[in-house]
Amino acid sequence: MSDGSAIAPPSLRDNRLPLVALILGGAAIGGSPIFVRLSEVGPLATAFWRVALALIPLLIFSWAKPQRAESRVASASDYAMLMLPGLFLASDLVLWHLALHMTSVANATLLANLAPVFVTLIGWLFLRARISALFLAGLVIAMAGIVTLKGGFAVLGNGDLRGDGLATAAAIFYAGYILVIGRLRNRFDTVRIMLWSTGAAAVCILPIALIAEGHLLPSTAFGWMIVIGLAFISHAGGQVAITYALAYLPAAFSSLTLLLQPVVAAILAWVLLGEAIGAMQAIGGAIVLAGILIARRG
């Protein structure tokens, strides 16, 4: 499928490198629930540090790397467009973290992973994306794998409708984030997009975290290591890799590949937290991988 958002220079016709970057980015973000669970501060404060501390490596890399002339910001509308994905990301993080406290973790994670469905739907309705039957089959199979991984549709009855609604809204905002990033990569380079969008997200989340939780600072060195790891690995590393990949891969397929995140989270929880992986989780993970491979052919 194609949504018209990817640029493919002749020297990069082979998109294996962007695909590897996308998978690694999804894996890096997949570890974020572990960092959130180990954080010493509240979920919204953790979300703030996730984006605020990520500005450090992004600024260093931006200063060290010369910017392309065609990538320079030329007008106020350029600044607005560069900050727009940050607004979507901030909304996604705030809503998802609130949903975690209002509904079951399984519901919040399952519904937040509806983002590929919304990316595909929005791309088809508004961006004239061409979607093959094989891609749709892969999308359905991958989503079935996520449902299986999270315990089946029965888990939806254990949540709260308000929290479920927030998690679904978070998925819509993350879909918007992916689509806007894909469009911006037509003109701006990865670091410039990430720098402005991350800064905008930090500015948006800070007052919400202060009002809702008040306490922002971790109390120990371990607490700081957790939020730094979340910022450097999951955001600066994961989101940069995904933003790079979106220059060469369709947004709908990219969002589908990010369904690897809950698979990675389950594996990390097993390795780091001793949470056993049951037969249903293993089967669900295999179904997700199968769906992504089928969608890749489409």
Task: Classify residue 126: in a domain, yes or no.
Answer: yes
N residues, the chain: 298
The DSSP letter of residue 11 is G
pLDDT of residue 155: 57
Task: Classify residue 9: in a domain, yes or no.
Answer: no
pLDDT of residue 114: 78
Task: Classify residue 29: in a domain, yes or no.
Answer: yes
Task: Classify residue 12: in a domain, yes or no.
Answer: no
Which of 249, 266, 263 is closest to 123 using CA atoms? 249
φ, ψ (nearest 5 deg) of residue 2: -145, 140
**51, pLDDT greater than 80:** yes
User: Which residues, in sequence order, are bridge partners of residue 274?
Assistant: none
The dihedral formed by the CA atoms of 106, 153, 28 and 239, expressed in degrees to the nearest 10:
-100
Task: Classify residue 16: in a domain, yes or no.
Answer: no
Which of 219, 239, 277, 202 is closest to 22 using CA atoms? 239
The whole-number average pLDDT for the span 46-60 is 93
- At 107-130, the pLDDT tens digits run 677 777 778 888 888 877 777 777
Cβ atoms of 239 and 34 within 8 Å: the answer is no
Return the percentage of the chain with pLDDT > 70, whole number: 81
In angstroms, how far is the first alpha carbon of the chain from the final one?
7
Task: Classify residue 7: in a domain, yes or no.
Answer: no
pLDDT of residue 8: 40
The DSSP letter of residue 217 is S
Domain count, the chain: 1
**146, pLDDT greater than 50:** yes
pLDDT of residue 171: 87
Domain extent for 96: 21-64+76-297
* CA-to-CA dists, residue 172 to 39, 113, 122, 169, angstroms: 26, 10, 10, 5
pTM for this prediction: 0.76
pLDDT category at 153 given cuts 50, 70, 90 is low
Task: Classify residue 272: in a domain, yes or no.
Answer: yes
- At 190-247, the pLDDT tens digits run 888 889 999 999 999 999 999 988 889 999 999 999 999 999 998 898 888 888 888 7
Cβ atoms of 111 and 165 within 8 Å: the answer is no
What's the gap between Cα 177 and its chain centre? 8
**6, pLDDT greater than 60:** no
Task: Classify residue 10: in a domain, yes or no.
Answer: no
